[in-house]
């Protein structure tokens, strides 16, 4: 190989090494910012559900707190009970998690989130005798025995109860 060819190859290798080193340093800096949290650890589904259960929920159907209003209704007007669900609970299963509650009209799903590797196949948020979500496993077709999970919520004594089925 000629001297000129060796210089070209050596220059190319040096430039490639510098580019890879710069890229790795950049990824490390960016990755550290992404993964750094309060404790720097990734939460398990159970830990995430515990954190969510401690967070206050806004009234159903609102994106922001209600504006301040009078403490009591004007004379001659009756106040109505809140329309949102009562006794909300976070329920976690293999396919994901749901926040469910009970209303006078029946069970309702406030929110539902698939676990990693799952998606939402179908959701029936209620209210009704049952509210239901079907989580579909990323690797399978819809149906029994392939990792897909269904959760049905019903209310017993005003408390949401989950029935998980795979």
Buried b (16+ CB within 10 A) or exposed e, 38-55: eeeeeeeeeebbeeeeee
Which one has a higher pLDDT value, 15 or 147?
Answer: 15
Share of the chain above pLDDT 90, in %: 29
Report pLDDT for 2. 85
Least confident of 79-88, 94-103, 149-158: 79-88
With tokens 């209210």, the residue in question is 127
Quick one: pLDDT band at residue 112, thresholds 50, 70, 90? very high
Quick one: pLDDT band at residue 87, thresholds 50, 70, 90? confident
Distances from the Cα of 3 to the Cα of 6, 10, 12, 146, 160, angstroms: 5, 11, 14, 62, 79
Tell me: pLDDT of 34 over 60: no
- Phi, psi angle pair for 69, to nearest 5°: -135, -175
Mean pLDDT of the chain: 75
Q: What is the pLDDT of residues 117-143, one digit of tens each?
A: 999 999 999 899 999 999 998 876 554
| pTM for the model | 0.48
Radius of gyration of the chain (CA): 26
Quick one: pLDDT band at residue 41, thresholds 50, 70, 90? low
Report pLDDT for 35. 53
Averaged pLDDT, 101-117: 92
Q: What is the pLDDT of residues 42-81, one digit of tens each?
A: 667 777 767 666 666 544 444 434 444 444 444 544 444 4
Quick one: pLDDT band at residue 20, thresholds 50, 70, 90? confident
């Amino acid at each position: 190989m000629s001297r000129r060819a060796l210089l070209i190859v050596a220059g190319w290798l040096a430039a490639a090494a510098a580019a890879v080193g710069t890229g790795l340093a950049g990824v490390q800096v960016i990755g550290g910012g992404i993964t750094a949290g309060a404790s720097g650890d990734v939460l398990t589904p159970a830990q995430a559900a515990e954190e969510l259960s401690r967070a206050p929920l806004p009234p159903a159907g609102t994106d922001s707190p209600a504006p301040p209003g009078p403490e009591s209704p004007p004379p001659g007007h009756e106040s109505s009970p809140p329309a949102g669900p009562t006794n909300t609970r976070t329920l976690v299963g293999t396919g994901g998690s749901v926040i469910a509650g009970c209303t006078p009209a029946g069970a309702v799903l406030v929110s539902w989130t698939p676990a990693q590797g799952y998606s939402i196949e179908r959701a029936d948020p209620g209210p009704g005798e049952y509210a239901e979500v079907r989580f579909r496993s990323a690797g399978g077709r819809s149906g029994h025995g392939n990792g897909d999970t269904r959760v049905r919520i019903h209310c017993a004594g005003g408390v949401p109860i989950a029935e998980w089925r795979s």
